[in-house]
Structure 1
Amino acid sequence: MSDRHAMTFTAGPAHIDELGHVNNTVWVQWIQEIATAHWHAVAAPAHVAAHVWVVTRHEIDYRGNIGLGESVIAETFIPGPPRGAQFDRCVVFRDRVGKTIVSARSTWALLDRASGRLCRVRPEIAASF
């Protein structure tokens, strides 16, 4: 359904855990960063001003990791149409040789920024993706 959006992330000292690789919480932060960047890149300014997305579920598969100074290319896409106020989003992180090391599927819910209440993902909002 979606145009894809990509970003590069590089592991810095604050991202590394006691095992010497990127901590799982950092992968979640990166998932949120690319999702937010995608929304801001494609959504109409009026939609960004009127709405905010919140995560209701993350499902993450870890198949590898990276260490200090290493980078990954993250690619996100929307796999299908919205369901009421919810939209699923997939993110795939690939290492320097193109191997998928982390993949995620997250469910996001759309809120009206002013009221903080859930609102249906209208066709004109979904069309941005």
Structure 2
Amino acid sequence: MKVFEKTITVVEDDIDDLNHVNNVRYVQWVQDIAKEHWQTYATKAILDSYVWFLVNHYIEYKSPALLGDQLLLKTYVSKVTGVSSIRHVEITNLNTKKRIVNSKAKWCFMDAKTQCPTRITTEVSEIFN
């Protein structure tokens, strides 16, 4: 499986009333890195033909992140079957090496025009493995 990663720095807009990263921000980062991973490796023809819809999402908050923390976001797809895939996102504090978030989501592969589920092609599957 191919791992896609990027580093971000926690900024003021990420912080909630408790002075740590708002839980909603983690959900946004999970979605953002999934989208960035997909758009980085999919061809224009694939991007024009297919879309992903979220089926379910599990997120485990392990440790808080604070203003100025540098975070490593990693994502990978562990399973591709039929019309669905299982994507994981791990967020780790780069300085402390503490895991901040673990996320697991099931995505459904859809035809962009009909918006109906469609089997994941070999070409798409190879993007992840």
SS of structure 2 residue aligned to 1:117 = coil
Secondary structure in structure 1 of the residue aligned to 2:37? helix
1:59 aligns with: 58
User: 1:111 deviation in Å?
Assistant: 1.5
Deviations 1:61-103 (A, max 9, x none): 11101112222101111112x2221100011111023221111
- SS of match in other structure, 1:128: helix
Q: State the superposition RMSD in angstroms.
A: 1.2
- Deviation at residue 45 of structure 1 after TM alignment: 2.0
Show structure 1 runs of 5+ residues with no match: none
In structure 2, how many angstroms separate the alpha carbons of the residues matched to 1:98 and 1:43?
Answer: 31
Residue matched to 1:103: 102
Give the structure with the higher percent strand: 2
Paired positions, count: 127
**Aligned twin of 2:84:** 86
* Secondary structure of the corresponding residue to residue 78 of structure 1: strand
Q: Residue 124 of structure 1 aligns with which residue?
A: 123
Which structure 2 segments of 5+ residues have no match?
Answer: none
Counterpart of 1:49 in structure 2 is 48
Q: C-alpha displacement at 1:9, in angstroms?
A: 2.1
**In percent, how many aligned pairs have the same letter?**
30
